[in-house]
């Protein structure tokens, strides 16, 4: 029997109105997320990568219910997310770890109060139970019980991210959206946090949607990887498949920048993309990548490619892989 996804994201969109027309009617929209679909299965990690402004963080925020989609639907264990929200039980199952370990923790609260806050909000246990749970969580993330009485300012960036992870784990969620959790940390600390997240996943069987702007950052932790560009997924594949056989020209460019451990392969061609990411307020017509694509064709200026199956483990949105275009 086919396993049911823990989370099904189906064709979600997030449009932000900008500017107004006659009678104040909004007539122009920034399409931050424009038709994203992803299934996340129990115990797996899906990496979501792309440049700043591609819509990956907005996608993550919609998955945990911090912002509502303009269109499309998100299902958690087969039920619409909106139904969970009505029952106020969403936060028990879906949590988020934020990018900035400095601003995401309230500086006026002790670490114990920060970690216990979700338990208090959801009325879990009494004060004694919660203190015991806080101690367990501190230990789980590699900190000590005495750290609970201190304030966030007394900790390093890596330790603060551990506190953020402990808070996210407090209610034993089934999925955590990790929004660039290591990008603000020193390289030496990044590996420690990634290893901690992997250990926790192994122990608790939870799932991650792991957001990062660099493809290398998601390699270590992901089972599958979705590459986003201007609000859309342009390639989605099993990690091994994506790294061994990237199909989309954008994915190829991202991978060409990743340092290789094998010296024999270090002379491979580096693909340098020209220009910046176009504004999502005014995306190019046709394939939105055509303004930077090194192999763009005439048709790419007018035809928007569909995300289609290109192997058993991959989907790609590129006209090079569509029958409707004569190559």
Q: Does 285 bind ligand SF4 (CB under 6 A)?
A: no
Distance CA 247, CA 266 (A): 20
Interface with ligand SF4, residue 271, by CB under 6 A: no
Verify binding: residue 318, ligand SF4, rule CB under 6 A: yes
DSSP assignment string, 194-237: HHHHHHHHHHH--EEEEEESSHHHHHTT-SEEEEEETTEEEEEE
293 binding ligand SF4? (CB under 6 A) = yes
Q: Which is nearer to ligand SF4, 190 or 291 (CB)?
A: 291
Helix axes 157-169, 111-121, angle to 10 degrees: 20
Six-digit token string for 223? 């089972």
Nearer residue to ligand SF4 within complex by CB, 50 or 249: 249
Assess 249 for contact with ligand SF4 (CB under 6 A).
Answer: yes
- CB-nearer residue toward ligand SF4: 94 or 300: 300
Does the protein bind ligand SF4 through residue 295 (CB under 6 A)? yes
CB 273 → ligand SF4: shortest distance, Å? 11
Per-position x/- string for 148-187, each x denoting binding to ligand SF4 as judged by CB under 6 A, each - no binding:
----------------------------------------
Token code pair at residue 299: 């048709």
297 binds ligand SF4 (CB under 6 A): yes
Contacts of 11 by beta carbon, 8 Å cutoff, 6+ apart: 35, 36, 37, 71, 72, 73
- CB count in 10 Å sphere of residue 116: 25
Q: Which of these, 41, 251, 247, 157, lies nearest to 165 by C-alpha position?
A: 157
Residues binding ligand SF4 (CB under 6 A): 248-249, 287, 289-290, 293, 295-297, 300, 305, 318-320
């Amino acid at each position: 029997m086919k396993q049911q996804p823990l989370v099904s994201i189906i064709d979600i969109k997030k449009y932000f109105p900008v500017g107004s027309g006659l009678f104040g009617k909004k007539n122009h929209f920034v399409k931050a997320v424009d038709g994203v679909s992803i299934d996340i299965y129990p115990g797996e990690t899906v990496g979501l990568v792309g440049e700043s402004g591609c819509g990956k963080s907005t996608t993550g925020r919609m998955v945990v219910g911090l912002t509502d989609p303009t269109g499309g639907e998100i299902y958690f264990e087969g039920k619409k997310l909106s139904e969970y929200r009505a029952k106020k039980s969403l936060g028990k199952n879906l949590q988020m770890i934020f990018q900035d370990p400095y601003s995401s923790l309230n500086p006026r609260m002790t670490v114990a109060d920060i970690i216990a806050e979700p338990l208090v909000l959801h009325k879990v246990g009494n004060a004694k139970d919660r203190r015991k749970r806080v101690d367990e969580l501190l230990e789980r993330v590699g900190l000590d019980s005495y750290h609970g009485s201190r304030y966030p300012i007394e900790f390093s960036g890596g330790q603060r991210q551990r506190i953020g992870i402990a808070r996210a784990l407090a209610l034993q969620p089934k999925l955590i959206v990790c929004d660039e959790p290591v990008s603000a940390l020193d390289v030496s600390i990044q590996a420690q946090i990634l290893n901690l997240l992997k250990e926790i996943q192994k122990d608790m069987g939870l799932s991650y949607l792991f957001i990062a702007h660099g493809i290398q950052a998601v390699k270590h932790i992901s089972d599958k990887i979705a590459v986003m560009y201007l609000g859309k997924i342009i390639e989605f594949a099993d990690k091994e498949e994506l790294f061994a056989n990237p199909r989309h020209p954008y994915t190829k460019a991202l991978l060409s920048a990743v340092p290789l451990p094998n010296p024999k392969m270090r002379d491979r061609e580096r693909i340098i993309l020209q220009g910046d990411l176009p504004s999502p307020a005014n995306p190019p017509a046709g394939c939105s990548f055509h303004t930077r694509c090194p192999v763009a064709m005439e048709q790419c200026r007018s035809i928007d490619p569909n995300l289609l199956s290109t192997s058993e483990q991959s989907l790609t949105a590129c006209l090079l892989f569509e029958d409707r275009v004569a190559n």
